[in-house]
């Protein structure tokens, strides 16, 4: 063995230790230079071999562990736990683990192999072990992967070097280099540390040093005290060298303390007493809600927080409080606040690194840090102070907002996290009050108004007056329309100019893509994931004009068939067929106009479900409560945008697809009119039975007034005349279909989704089903169920649709003019069609000898390989499949 390891080492003084293999796996060998590394003891176990040693050059104690992890997850977990116990029991701060860990840290580190739940669980377990060990990945150089299958298609990074943070601090330029793999399936990993001598560093004198009187005194004293004999230039040079030495001769600890003091002052609150928001009333929690917030932590809460944030105590506490505060926030925040941003608002320990050396910790009293789970909620709670100030000023008649509609719904402030809009009358009093509000909020919260981003705009106000208001507030002037949260406010959505940024973003994306270098499957993926989602936000607010829809659809269509911005390609299939779902033979690409209508219809559903929200109250105040039941606006002066919502939900046509997909959950029946609302059928009972309605004395009654509860069951109460008896039976059959529920509120149900709630997906599906007039071949839908790569599926789909670019199809489209040019190049007799190429062309098999046994063996092997690769529930061995494939499929 000695001769072997010395031969492997390549000569010189060396020592080694090893762990025997278990069958053909698990063998480990460690060889080291005994002149540089002194091994004091060994730690070994199943899957690892460690050296407790001392680096003779510097005297540093270290632990180096050679890893060969097992492939099974349970045994791997035992290995991680065992090493973790060894580390906790060791006082040595320098640890290095190197070898085959048989695990990856993320899915992108494995290519060409199917990943599933097992791989995700293994990744989580490995990352959890690294976090517990407090290990760091040594920076990687060279290849991205360390293990390759012989065919080169499957590769992963399962070999690596992991060290403790102290190792990187001791050798900051350490790196791991992945070398060529040679004949092995694994690459050699070389960890090295390079000490680079960059030569003498130039010394510079900074002018701001002269602002310090001690610096001037030091220079003068050093110049006078330095005595040099020689010629003039030599004396100047030597005196400058002496000054340089004196200026650079500073105590490192003093420099570190000054840097720490600078950051401590920057992150400390200089104001000892802030002004309060006296007199401003805020929403408060009741006793039960306070108990929910302050009760002791439960085991489930701690478990979820630990799994989400690791072992950091602050993060665990923040996550638990965030989950509790998330539930209570709607009771604390005014309805004018509509969103969150990630901002920092808690005290947290902090230290500063000076040349890699940390100072002592000091407390943060201010600052911003993204990523904290509590940050968005705490920021919104602070931002509600400005809402309270506006409300106080409005109640005192110091700030006058805008009243909308017949109900006088007041609008004075709108907030989306830190983006705020103040709405009010164009008066000097309002502007002065607004300035006082902003200044008071700054003093009370410590937050600063960003005047550089703040703008002032007005409608029907003179230019000179607007400029004077802007100078008083120190704001910039803004024109209408303006952009707020990505939406052009005040713009006419029916003009194509409003949508020009969306068209430009389409073209910008396409200019960076090379359609000719992408497969058709890749182009479909980009259209669905990128192009369709680009206008998603603005389509949720505005109805897209037809000319813009055609323009964007044309861009998508041209890109799908491989064209560029300035180059058009032939469209082999109509866009209507392409937009059909895959199960119906289409490509599943979103049809923009139908998608836009489904997005806008969500506002109609929101009006039914959230009538107390601010936007719904404004809408009801402007148009009246009748819009909850009526399907059309009263006149042309009403809201253009709500008219577009009604058109999107089908109210401008005879096909009212949205209302037809709704049903009622009557509840107690105290909020729906018996005769006027369509609660029993698609039309109101007053229209269905006009004679009975005309003679009724209860025309304005709600459903709850038309009966009573008896022993927990609802009983209708009607009195009939003799001439009405002919319609009674039909009337009662319709009425008794409605079921009232005691103690339950009235609500609408969306019949196209099992949850009873409207979704854009179900709305889009309903629109596509109603607007479809094309019948696609069912066989085209089969292409998407075949377990083959996506680009092969696209080829099969084109084959089944009959749109492959064969010469027959090119002749039909007049790309080829002469029929003689459309013959098959193999036989030069028949027309080149898909049927001829794949079925009737005998030249393909000419000279081939059909071996039935060999064909059968290949079929069995390839079918078993496909099933094991693409069907995760298929767990049969090749011998079982070969013996009885039918039984395997059935079971």
User: What's the gap between Cα 41 and its chain centre?
Assistant: 49
Residue 64 — pLDDT band, cuts 50, 70, 90?
A: very high
Please indicate whether residue 652 or residue 687 has the higher confidence score (pLDDT).
687
Which secondary-structure segment (H or E) carries 492? Answer: none
What distance in Å separates the CA atoms of residue 409 and residue 776, rounded to the nearest whole number? 52
Tokens of 417: 């996290």
Looking at residue 690, its pLDDT comes to 79
Looking at residue 357, its pLDDT comes to 46
SS (H, E, C) 222-288: HHHHCCCCCCHHHHHHHHHHHHHHHHHCCCHHHHHHHHHHHHHHHCCCCCCCCCCCCCCCCCCCCHH
Burial 16-53 (b: 16+ CB within 10 A, else e): bbebeeeeeeeebebebeeeebebeeeeeeebbbbbbb
What distance in Å separates the CA atoms of residue 163 and residue 87, rounded to the nearest whole number? 12
Pair 615, 397: CB distance under 8 Å: no
Instruction: State the residue for tokens 């009425």.
Output: 735
Residue 96 has pLDDT above 90, yes or no: yes
Looking at residue 344, its pLDDT comes to 28
Looking at residue 668, its pLDDT comes to 66
Instruction: State the residue for tokens 């009674």.
Output: 728
Pair 161, 176: CB distance under 8 Å: yes
Neighbours of 216 (CB within 10 A): 12
Query: Is residue 710 helix, strand or coil?
Result: strand
What is the DSSP code (8-state) at residue 103? -
Query: Is residue 463 helix, strand or coil?
Result: helix
Residue 161 — pLDDT band, cuts 50, 70, 90?
A: very high
Q: How many CA atoms lie within 13 A of 113 on its CB side?
A: 18
What is the DSSP code (8-state) at residue 625? G
Tokens of 184: 């092995």
Q: Identify the architecture of domain 2-193 in CATH.
A: 4-Layer Sandwich (3.60)
Mean pLDDT over the full length of the chain: 78
Burial of 111 (0-12, 13-18, 19+ CB in 10 A): middle
Say what angle helices 546-560 and 500-511 make with each other, to 10 degrees: 10
Residue 351 — pLDDT band, cuts 50, 70, 90?
A: very low
Query: Which segments of 610-704 does DSSP mark as H helices, in order?
Result: 614-623, 640-648, 657-660, 685-688, 690-695
Looking at residue 339, its pLDDT comes to 43
Looking at residue 340, its pLDDT comes to 40
Pair 696, 735: CB distance under 8 Å: no
Looking at residue 240, its pLDDT comes to 85
Query: Is residue 99 helix, strand or coil?
Result: strand
Length of the chain: 891
| φ, ψ of residue 420 in degrees (nearest 5) | -125, 140
Looking at residue 682, its pLDDT comes to 62
Query: Is residue 193 helix, strand or coil?
Result: strand
Q: How many CA atoms lie within 13 A of 703 on its CB side?
A: 28
Q: What is the reported pTM?
A: 0.58
Strands 476-477 vs 455-456: parallel, antiparallel or unpaired: parallel
Residue 341 — pLDDT band, cuts 50, 70, 90?
A: very low
Rg of the chain taking only CA atoms, in angstroms: 38
Pair 146, 176: CB distance under 8 Å: no
Query: Is residue 642 helix, strand or coil?
Result: helix
Pair 50, 63: CB distance under 8 Å: yes
Pair 573, 561: CB distance under 8 Å: no
Neighbours of 870 (CB within 10 A): 12
Burial of 797 (0-12, 13-18, 19+ CB in 10 A): buried
Looking at residue 509, its pLDDT comes to 82
Pair 37, 23: CB distance under 8 Å: no
Looking at residue 350, its pLDDT comes to 38
Tokens of 681: 């059928």
Residue 725 has pLDDT above 70, yes or no: no
What distance in Å separates the CA atoms of residue 180 and residue 105, rounded to the nearest whole number? 22
What distance in Å separates the CA atoms of residue 860 and residue 878, rounded to the nearest whole number? 9
Report the range out of 58-62, 242-246, 782-786 with the highest average pLDDT: 58-62
Query: Is residue 380 helix, strand or coil?
Result: helix
Pair 539, 595: CB distance under 8 Å: yes
What is the DSSP code (8-state) at residue 296? P
Sign of CA dihedral 826, 830, 832, 834: negative
What distance in Å separates the CA atoms of residue 680 and residue 695, rounded to the nearest whole number? 20
Residue 334 — pLDDT band, cuts 50, 70, 90?
A: low
pLDDT in tens, 771-785: 665 555 566 777 787
What is the mean predicted confidence (pLDDT) over 628-649? 70
Burial of 85 (0-12, 13-18, 19+ CB in 10 A): exposed
pLDDT in tens, 255-291: 777 777 777 776 666 555 566 666 666 666 677 767 7
User: What's the gap between Cα 761 and its chain centre?
Assistant: 19
What is the mean predicted confidence (pLDDT) over 710-715? 73
Distances (CA, A) of 582 to 60, 319, 359, 742, 790: 64, 42, 61, 45, 13
Least confident range of 40-49, 316-325, 378-387, 701-710: 316-325
Looking at residue 535, its pLDDT comes to 85
Residue 342 has pLDDT above 50, yes or no: no
Pair 577, 776: CB distance under 8 Å: yes
What is the DSSP code (8-state) at residue 36? T
Neighbours of 116 (CB within 10 A): 8
The residues pairing with 304 across neighbouring beta strands, listed in sequence order, are none
pLDDT in tens, 183-242: 678 888 898 887 665 556 666 667 777 777 788 888 888 888 888 888 888 888 888 888
What is the mean predicted confidence (pLDDT) over 685-704? 77
- Give which of 584, 522, 489, 600 is closest to 531, Cα–Cα: 522
What is the DSSP code (8-state) at residue 632? S
What distance in Å separates the CA atoms of residue 825 and residue 845, rounded to the nearest whole number? 15
Tokens of 883: 């013996």
What distance in Å separates the CA atoms of residue 352 and residue 362, rounded to the nearest whole number? 9
| φ, ψ of residue 724 in degrees (nearest 5) | -90, -5
What is the mean predicted confidence (pLDDT) over 786-810? 86
What is the DSSP code (8-state) at residue 499? G
What distance in Å separates the CA atoms of residue 326 and residue 323, rounded to the nearest whole number? 5
User: Domain ranges in the chain?
Assistant: 2-193, 224-266, 496-590, 591-661+751-772, 665-748, 778-842, 852-890
Residue 630 has pLDDT above 80, yes or no: no
Please indicate whether residue 90 or residue 284 has the higher confidence score (pLDDT).
90
Instruction: State the residue for tokens 């009337």.
Output: 731
Tokens of 353: 């690194």
Query: Is residue 18 helix, strand or coil?
Result: strand
What is the DSSP code (8-state) at residue 742? T
Residue 388 has pLDDT above 70, yes or no: yes
Looking at residue 169, its pLDDT comes to 86
């Amino acid at each position: 063995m000695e001769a072997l390891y010395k031969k492997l080492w390549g000569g010189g003084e060396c020592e080694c230790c090893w762990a025997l293999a278990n069958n053909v796996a698990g063998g480990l060998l460690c060889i080291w230079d005994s002149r540089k590394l002194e091994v004091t003891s060994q730690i070994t176990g199943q899957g690892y071999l460690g050296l407790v040693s001392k680096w003779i050059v510097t005297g540093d104690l270290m632990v180096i562990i050679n890893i060969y992890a097992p492939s099974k997850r349970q045994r791997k977990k035992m290995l991680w736990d065992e090493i973790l116990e060894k580390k906790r029991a060791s006082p040595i701060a320098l640890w290095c683990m190197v070898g085959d860990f048989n695990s990856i840290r993320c899915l992108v580190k494995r290519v060409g192999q199917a990943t599933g739940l097992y791989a995700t669980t293994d990744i989580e377990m490995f990352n959890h072990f690294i976090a517990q060990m407090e290990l760091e990945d040594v920076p990687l150089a060279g290849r991205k992967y360390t293990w390759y299958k012989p065919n080169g298609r499957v590769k992963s990074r399962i070999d690596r070097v992991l060290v403790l943070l102290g190792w990187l601090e001791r050798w900051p330029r350490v790196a791991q280099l992945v070398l060529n793999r040679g004949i092995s399936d694994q690459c050699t990993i070389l960890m090295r540390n390079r000490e680079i001598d960059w030569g003498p560093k130039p010394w510079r004198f900074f002018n701001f040093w002269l602002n310090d009187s001690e610096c001037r005194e030091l220079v003068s004293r050093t110049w006078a005290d330095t005595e040099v004999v020689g010629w003039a230039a030599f004396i100047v040079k030597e005196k400058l060298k002496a000054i340089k030495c004196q200026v650079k001769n500073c105590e490192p600890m003093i420099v570190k303390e000054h840097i720490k003091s600078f950051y401590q002052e920057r992150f400390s609150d200089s104001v000892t007493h802030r002004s309060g928001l006296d007199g401003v009333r805020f929403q408060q929690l009741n006793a039960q809600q306070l108990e929910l917030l302050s009760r002791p932590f439960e085991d489930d809460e701690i478990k979820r927080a630990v799994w989400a944030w690791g072992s950091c105590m602050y993060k665990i506490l923040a996550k638990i409080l965030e989950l509790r505060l998330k539930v209570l926030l709607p009771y604390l925040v005014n309805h004018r606040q509509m969103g969150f941003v990630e901002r920092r608002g808690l005290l947290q320990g902090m230290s500063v690194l000076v040349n890699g050396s940390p100072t002592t910790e000091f407390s943060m009293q201010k600052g911003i840090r993204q990523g904290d789970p509590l940050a968005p909620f705490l920021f919104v709670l602070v931002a509600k102070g400005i809402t309270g100030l506006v409300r106080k000023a409005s109640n005192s008649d110091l700030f006058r907002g805008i009243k909308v509609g017949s109900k006088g719904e007041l609008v004075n402030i709108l907030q989306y996290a830190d983006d705020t809009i103040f709405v009010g009358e164009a008066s000097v009093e309002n502007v002065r009050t607004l300035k006082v509000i902003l200044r008071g909020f700054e003093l009370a919260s410590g937050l600063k108004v960003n005047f550089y981003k703040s703008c002032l705009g007005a409608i029907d106000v003179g230019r000179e007056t607007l400029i004077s208001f802007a100078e008083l507030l120190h704001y910039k002037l803004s024109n209408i329309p303006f952009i707020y949260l990505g939406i052009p406010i005040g713009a006419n959505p029916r003009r194509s100019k409003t949508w020009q940024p969306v068209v430009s973003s389409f073209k910008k994306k396409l200019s960076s893509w090379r359609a000719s270098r992408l497969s058709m499957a890749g182009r479909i993926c980009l259209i669905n994931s990128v192009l369709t989602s680009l206008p998603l936000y603005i389509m949720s607010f505005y109805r897209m004009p037809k000319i813009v829809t055609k323009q964007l659809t044309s861009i998508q269509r041209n890109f799908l068939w491989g064209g560029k911005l300035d180059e058009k390609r032939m469209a082999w299939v109509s866009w209507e067929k392409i937009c059909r779902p895959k199960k119906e033979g289409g490509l599943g690409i979103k049809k923009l106009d139908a998608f836009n209508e489904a997005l806008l219809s969500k506002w109609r559903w929101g009006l039914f479900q959230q009538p107390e929200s601010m936007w719904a109250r404004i809408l009801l105040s402007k148009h009246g409560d009748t819009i909850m039941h009526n399907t059309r606006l009263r006149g042309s002066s009403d809201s253009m945008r709500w008219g577009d919502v009604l058109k999107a939900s089908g109210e401008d046509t005879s096909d009212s697809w949205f209302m037809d997909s709704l049903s009622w959950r009557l509840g107690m029946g105290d909020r729906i009119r018996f005769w006027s609302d369509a609660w029993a059928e698609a039309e109101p009972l007053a229209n269905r039975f006009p004679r009975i309605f005309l003679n009724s004395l209860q025309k304005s009654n709600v459903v709850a007034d038309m009966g009573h509860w008896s022993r927990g069951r609802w009983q209708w109460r009607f009195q009939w005349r003799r001439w009405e008896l002919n319609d009674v039976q039909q009337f009662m059959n319709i009425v008794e279909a409605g079921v009232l529920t005691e103690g339950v509120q009235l609500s609408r149900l969306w019949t196209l989704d099992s949850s009873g709630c409207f979704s854009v997906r179900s709305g889009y599906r309903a629109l596509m089903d109603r607007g479809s007039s094309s019948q696609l071949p069912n066989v085209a839908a089969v292409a998407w169920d075949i377990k083959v790569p996506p680009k092969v599926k696209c080829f099969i789909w084109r084959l089944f649709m009959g749109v492959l670019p064969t010469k027959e199809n090119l002749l039909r489209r007049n790309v080829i003019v002469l029929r003689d040019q459309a013959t098959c190049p193999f036989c030069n007799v028949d027309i080149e069609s898909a049927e001829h190429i794949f079925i009737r062309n005998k030249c393909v098999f000419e000279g081939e000898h059909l071996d039935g046994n060999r064909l059968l063996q290949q079929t069995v092997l390839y079918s078993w390989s496909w099933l094991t690769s693409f069907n995760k529930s298929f767990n049969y061995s090749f011998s079982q499949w070969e013996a009885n494939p039918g039984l395997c499929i059935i079971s």
